[in-house]
Structure 1
């Protein structure tokens, strides 16, 4: 089977042109890799593997960390994935109260968690190099028209790149926190949608490097600071304990918001840089799609459908083959309406001149057709290309 790229790009273009339907974007770990950087400075932010390698190098002489990684390997966990490492630490903290677990005390584990989160914060506390980045192109599209329904941006990243781009462009947004000195999370404003419609919504599902947790008078409290603090309890959630009791707010409220968004009539959510390796998010997306057949989730995946003859994103493909309103596009193949097929077309439509630049090899029928919106830079160029245009191709 083949998929017609012009037909589906036109449909995407028309869907994104609606100002009275819910439109959302899901920005995940692969997106920072699309930012062009000067020679020797790429990437702006490393991927999970690169970040983990940096942490392992920084802590290679830390005796407690050596004990931790040794025990991690004994438990058949990966020392090349910081999410596994933090999950392991946090699971040990739960059972270490007043004792020692795997040669590490509760104090050792808490110190390691703080140290690792501090390194993550330092690696992610970076700025976009200029105002011509993919993040800025997304921001320009968001501010291009006054929408009857606000745009919602979900992200699993705990960097501040989305915030920087929106603020550079003076795009007002609400992230769930209110206040100026020690901003606190306002659950009522989120759940009751009590924010002006011209404010974009920014939901940081996995926390942020400028979110912190402190012991209040009666319970632990979460707040957001305008400054990045050292030696603080950064509220970032790269682990399966995102919804553990002391960390569940605002995580549960934000994952619920993702579900509510998809359940809205005729909603469209575009995923960028997401590899479908978080089962909790996958379940949230699929369950909401099952409850709302009018919704559409489009996963734009980086690279080819296969890598070394193996499926590049097996979790995404499995879900898309079962759920009609979850579509997945890779560079060379797409699963649309549960039907899998390579990108191919009989001829270029006469009215498709503005779409042709996004169908690679469109002028050479002997070469494989490629649609590369899975590159966040190309997708945001697609958005910018149609700013101010009507719904026609």
Structure 2
């Protein structure tokens, strides 16, 4: 991202990243933009500098996570499972990613989904459809529509000066991509979609006797972590299964050790029922167990596993047969 900025922009933004990290640096820029007055300077930036830098940084992030060259097979396999999952309640997918991988896969696999916006070209965020409890609506969205909630925004969300709107494509330079919520309270219009979506996440996890599968999340957002840990503690008959690609984080391990229904699965060890131990060695081999490692902690393998849940019907489903065979044109 830094490489795409001008030298002047890079010199101004690099210290913010080093001190705060990328997402918090963006939050700081937006707080500065809202608080600084004409003539005031903070971190070597004026209000106008902060606005321009925010726009430039977001543009580089949009370019950096473009899905044009991505391997779509794992996420398409995941979408194949979502499409065929038949539950009384809708499947809800929460992600902190900005990219359009899920949307691309859902569109390719013809998954019906709702993401909180209503419209096509510049769709407004519909709070009453995300949180029906706030506004009386005639009917709920049918459960056959998967819910896709992007907790940290998306490269195709943009501020219109008042609200957040979903664009028909990734935001361009004239739009400021609505990625990552600023925690500052100076601008409620910028924060409300993220607040509503976090509330939706909290309510979904607190539905009794549900199964939550977490994959690809490194537990880097303390707000979301507390929602997850609190739900596990409150809903003892629900199950939260974390597939940890990286070594198990200390805070996650500590919580899992005292919360039996919070299970953590790593390739070489697991925490199940509060007990942490390595996997037993065995000569047995299968698609997801290789050389004493459980490879399903990798999202690509998890997507394959979920798609094969419906493998019994693949003979009547050419698209699923194609996905499981790996013969997918990228």
Scaled by the length of structure 1, the TM-score of the pair is 0.71
Change (3 A) 1:90 1:295: same
Structure 1 position 142 matched with structure 2 position 82:
yes
Superposition RMSD in Å: 2.5
2:323 counterpart residue number:
none
Structure 1 position 371 matched with structure 2 position 294:
yes
Gaps of 5+ in 1: 1-54, 306-311, 349-354, 362-368
The CA distance in 2 between the partners of 1:300 and 1:145, in whole Å, is 20
Aligned pair count? 305
Gaps of 5+ in 2: 133-138, 314-330
The match for 2:166 among 214, 220, 224 is 224
Bigger RCO of structures 1 and 2 (CA < 8 A, at least 6 apart):
1
* Shift of residue 345, structure 1, vs aligned partner: 6.5
* Shift of residue 347, structure 1, vs aligned partner: 8.8
The 5 A counterparts of 1:98-109 are 98=38, 99-109=40-50
2:155 counterpart residue number:
209
Structure 1 position 61 matched with structure 2 position 30:
no
Q: Deviations over 1:269-300 (max 9, x none)?
A: 11111111110000111122222112111110
* Shift of residue 145, structure 1, vs aligned partner: 4.3
Change (3 A) 1:358 1:389: same
Structure 1 position 360 matched with structure 2 position 283:
no
The 5 A counterparts of 1:162-241 are 162-192=102-132, 194-215=140-161, 220-231=162-173, 232-237=175-180, 240-241=183-184
The CA distance in 2 between the partners of 1:276 and 1:288, in whole Å, is 15
Aligned residue for 2:156, secondary structure, equals: strand
Is this contact kept in 1: 2:5–2:60, CA < 8 A?
Answer: no
* Shift of residue 204, structure 1, vs aligned partner: 0.5
Structure 1 position 344 matched with structure 2 position 280:
yes
1:85 counterpart residue number:
25
The match for 2:212 among 265, 269, 275 is 269
* Shift of residue 226, structure 1, vs aligned partner: 0.7
1:254 counterpart residue number:
197
Scaled by the length of structure 2, the TM-score of the pair is 0.84
Is this contact kept in 1: 2:181–2:191, CA < 8 A?
Answer: no
- Higher fraction of helix: 2
